[in-house]
């Protein structure tokens, strides 16, 4: 059976049996995919409800569809937040794309002691990363889209964290002594996970100690030193394996 093209919509685009598609997706559906009236789509509201719809009418700014079937899917737990030290060049684009495929729920870009990149056009960057999240979520058949927060300092983000009884906080560090696999096996019932990944050069000792004081496990990912983009993908892959 051919997989139907899948797009995200806002819940307020659903009005009774009618769902309206707008924005850039209109051009993609009509011009790139060349789907005509009578064709079918899958539309997801980002909250677990998926609509199979038939296209009724297409114009330049919107596509009107009618619901054929409604299905619900549970958003997976635990919910994972990635605090990512900002890397150089376009590495953050790759990280955002790949961790979205690996089911991250939130992404927090962090300025740390060893961050080299200068943060400019914050709103423009966040908008681009959020768009990458949306595209990766559609490609990977997710039912929700990760939320990208504004850029924060490492200290600011640590201060904002509220202790949670069913949360697991992880910080991979070159001086970490306990392997991540043992920490994960000891924490099977967690509902929320926060992972902090340093930029090129990793976290400083002061940052690692501050995180440890906030309840973070300073963990090892093995004997090899990983690039920042590799570390993020590796940790999310391990979490996917352990908790999927």
Q: State pLDDT tens for residues 152-194.
A: 999 999 999 987 778 999 999 988 889 999 999 998 889 999 9
Nearest Cα to 198, choosing from 210, 185, 186, 215?
Answer: 210
Task: Confirm if 218 and 176 have CB atoms less than 8 A apart.
Answer: yes
d(Cα 66, Cα 62) in Å, to the nearest integer? Answer: 13
Q: State pLDDT tens for residues 128-144.
A: 999 999 999 999 999 99
Domain with CATH 2.40.240.20 in the chain: 6-72
DSSP, res 51? E
Domain with CATH 3.40.1280.10 in the chain: 79-243
Q: Does domain 79-243 have CATH number 3.40.1280.10?
A: yes
Whole-structure pTM value? 0.91
pLDDT of residue 1: 56
Nearest Cα to 148, choosing from 173, 161, 135, 131?
Answer: 131
Q: State pLDDT tens for residues 25-60.
A: 999 999 999 999 999 999 999 988 999 999 999 998
CATH H superfamily, domain 6-72: Hypothetical PUA domain-like; domain 1 (2.40.240.20)
Q: Which residues pair with 172 in a beta bridge?
A: 219
> Which CA distances in Å does 18 have to 8, 23, 89, 242?
15, 17, 43, 40
d(Cα 4, Cα 211) in Å, to the nearest integer? Answer: 45
Please give the biggest Cα pair distance in the chain: 61
* Beta-strand runs (E) in the chain: 6-8, 14-15, 18-22, 40-44, 49-58, 62-72, 79-85, 106-111, 147-148, 152-153, 167-172, 178-179, 192-197, 217-220
Task: Confirm if 219 and 202 have CB atoms less than 8 A apart.
Answer: no
Nearest Cα to 236, choosing from 140, 159, 158?
Answer: 140
Task: Report helix, strand or coil for 60.
Answer: coil
d(Cα 172, Cα 195) in Å, to the nearest integer? Answer: 8
């Amino acid at each position: 059976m051919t997989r139907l093209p899948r797009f995200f919509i806002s819940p307020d685009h659903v009005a009774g049996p009618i769902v309206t598609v707008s924005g850039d997706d209109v051009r993609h559906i009509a011009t790139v995919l060349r789907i005509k009236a009578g064709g079918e789509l899958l539309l997801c509201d980002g909250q677990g409800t998926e609509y199979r719809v038939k296209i009724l009418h297409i114009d330049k700014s919107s596509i009107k569809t009618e619901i054929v079937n409604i299905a619900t899917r549970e958003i997976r737990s635990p919910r994972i937040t990635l605090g990512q030290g900002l890397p150089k060049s376009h590495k953050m684009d790759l990280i955002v794309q790949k961790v979205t495929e690996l089911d991250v729920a939130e992404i927090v870009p962090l300025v740390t002691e060893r961050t080299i990149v200068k943060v400019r056009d914050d709103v423009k960057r966040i908008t681009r990363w959020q768009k990458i999240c949306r595209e990766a979520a559609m490609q990977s058949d997710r039912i929700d889209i990760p939320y990208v927060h504004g850029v924060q300092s490492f200290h600011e983000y640590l201060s904002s964290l509220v202790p949670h009884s069913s949360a697991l906080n992880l910080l991979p560090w070159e001086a970490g002594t306990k392997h991540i696999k043992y920490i994960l096996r000891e924490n099977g019932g967690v509902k929320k996970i926060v992972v902090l990944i340093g930029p090129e050069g990793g976290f400083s000792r002061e940052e690692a100690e501050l995180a440890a004081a906030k309840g973070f496990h300073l963990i090892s990912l093995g004997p090899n030193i990983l690039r920042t983009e590799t570390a993020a993908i590796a940790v999310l892959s391990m979490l996917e394996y352990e908790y999927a």
